[in-house]
Chains A and B, each alone.
Chain A
């Protein structure tokens, strides 16, 4: 299985699996359903896991991952392969999961919950991050997720979203500040 995008130089096996993935993407672009099915098998585990971390619900996570694959398929002609297909779909899945949770669950104040243990504390922080991301504008959220989850650079994001590089940097700076403020205000 292909892992999420790495910051350093890709290893030999990673680059060979990357080229196999690129071939699958190319075939899927031409409408090859088998290639798309193979891409789903490759990318689904990380997309489902990330969506489940956001939704805390297996069924909602599957809905989010499915929505992510549909969005990815529609956007395949614009996909530049700056990150692995798995990382790209995972980012879309997290974005879709945030939208699904916002639609289905009314926000409950995290700060009112009783004190928790280590694992629950981690989930609490993740919940706080989800809410902070949900409060961002869709475009700021997309930019930040591409940066933090996919590891894509400003230039690639700017091209993907039709923005200037400076515009992307300004939005990243602003979005990060909002997230930091949200975590600073949260109960320790």
Chain B
């Protein structure tokens, strides 16, 4: 790596060093050497290493992506549809179960007590006029 390149990447540990002094320091200091290598690796990943602009993508790749997107959109639509159908089924199941419960549910404690305190009509004949 060129000296100026190294100088641009040096870390806080060797800010004041330049040229050969910097190279000597990097040879000995694992921290700064690691920083320089990491910075260089990021540049390489970004494509900032002077490799020139990347070639245009082939039309075959573009159509492959478009086809994959159509398949993906169809799968997503199907998933949404299945989820909606499941939600509707669940709603009707819950509504049916609720109405069935209401029909067969025993009376509340208050209703039972009220029926006990109301004299039945069968006993009315025994009462004196």
Contact = CB atoms under 8 A, between A and B. Distances in A.
Interface residues of B, number: 30
A94 B45 contact: yes
Given A41-B62, A122-B44, A179 B38 contact: yes
B40 A45 contact: no
Interface in A34-66: 36-37, 40-41, 44-46, 48-50, 53-54, 62, 65-66
Q: Is the interface of A mostly helix, strand, loop or mixed?
A: helix
B125 interface: no
A184 B34 contact: yes
Contacts of A181: 34
B46 A69 contact: no
Interface in B22-52: 30-31, 33-35, 37-38, 40-42, 44-47, 49, 51
Interface stretch (A10-18, A123-131, A134-142, A166-174): A123-131
Interface of B: 30-31, 33-35, 37-38, 40-42, 44-47, 49, 51, 53-57, 61-62, 64-66, 68-69, 72, 76
Given A1-B53, A70-B72, A180-B35, 15 more contacts: A4-B46, A40-B62, A45-B53, A49-B47, A49-B51, A54-B45, A69-B68, A74-B76, A122-B40, A125-B41, A128-B37, A181-B34, A183-B35, A183-B37, A184-B34
